[in-house]
Amino acid sequence: MNTNNDIRLMEHAIRIADKNSGLVSPRPLVGAVIVKNGKIVGEGVTEPRPGNHAEVNAINKAGVNTHGGTLYCTLEPHSFQSISPPCTEAIIKSGIKRVVCPIKDPNPLINGNGFKQLKLAKVKVETKINESILSECKKMIFAYEHFLNHKRPFITLKTAMSLDGKIATYNGDSKWITNKISRDKVHKLRYNSDGIITGIGTILQDDPRLTSRDNNDKYCGRPRYRIILDSFGKIPVNSKIFQEPGKIIIASAIKLNNLPNEVENFVIPDENNKVSIKQLIKELSNLGLHNLLLESGGKVNTNFLKLKLVDQLKIFVGNIIVSGQESRSVFSGEGSKLIKDSLSTEIISIEQLESNFLVTSLIKYLDPS
């Protein structure tokens, strides 16, 4: 039976995991807390490979205080030998007698086996928790689960637009359509992402850094990857994106020379001698990236949509009207001929951000293949 104390400690496990958000893929993000006699004696977060899992880090910090304690973790403990030994083995050896954890690991190699191993070792396992905790734990692994099911990253298209659906004026000016609260939320989205994808048009027009930054405009170490679609190597060597630390991938149709040493070049042409977006996503999947943010202009957005590679929309709407037939929109091209051919979405939430609002929705493709 869960108590208010159990809920508080599960909330703490969720909260501490945030410090490694966007860093641990292909592993799922997990937080763990060990309590004995009402006091926290150890806590941990899953580290990037080849580091420890959250449960092992918590056990190591707790030391001799684990015996008879309770472990709170946000995902079912890992139960097989991989790069790391099974967490279940460490839990059993530590003498922990109770585990509170709301969800099974969707990985078919685990998926209940972790709980089963613990129960066989006489460790009490409690999986029932209130809906709020369950929802938050599921959010932590949504991209991980998508990757397991679809063998590719979960891709969120993020855009900021005016009330009349414009992302920039006719000459490309877009600063700022939305308010600071909205822009701060964008930095949090970047913080939680494994990588950001954009096109060369956005680089040439806006010269963005594509990093997550705090309120003092300080770099937060995220995302791990920034990915640019640049078929023919138009990116200037003095672009701001090169001036911040972090891994950069430039996907092109031809081999690019004279790039900074730390920049990786994926040469992946399609049949039209442009960047093959499908191949790019395969390459990013091979890197183990689970959660990608698409921040680009109408052409790139449309190409991803046509390939059914946009899973979610995050649309920040400002309280301005840009107007004009030549002003730029989220998507380009002719679009649907008939309304019945338009894509449908499932709106998940609408959030008020003072004078702005954020719409989050999932795209429902007619044929999701």
Hey, which residues are catalytic here?
55
Question: Residue 26 and residue 218: Cα distance in Å, rounded?
Answer: 27
**DSSP SS3 for 21:** coil
Calculated CA dihedral for residues 68, 73, 75, 78, nearest 10 degrees: -50
Q: Rg of the chain over CA atoms, in angstroms?
A: 23
Residue 104 is encoded by which pair of tokens?
A: 């099974």
Q: Are 99 and 79 in contact (CB under 8 A)?
A: no
Supply angle C-alpha 68, 131, 109, rounded to 5.
Answer: 65
Bridging pattern class, strands 312-317 and 328-329: unpaired
How many angstroms separate the CA atoms of 69 and 142, rounded? 29
What 3-state class would DSSP assign to 228?
A: strand
Q: How far apart are CA 55 and CA 78, in angstroms?
A: 9
Q: Whole-angstrom Cα distance, residue 357 to residue 355?
A: 7
Tokens of 325: 């037939």
Distance from C-alpha of 241 to C-alpha of 239, rounded to nearest angstrom: 5
184 is written with which tokens?
């701060």
Give the helix/strand (H/E) hosting 315.
strand 312-317
Amino acid identity of 32?
Answer: A
**Cross-strand pairs, 293:** 156, 196
- Round to whole Å and give the CA distance between 170 and 322: 9
**DSSP-derived pairing of the beta strands 225-229 and 195-199:** parallel
Give just the sign of the alpha carbon dihedral 125, 130, 133, 137: positive
The distance of Cα 333 from the centroid of its chain, to the nearest Å, equals 28
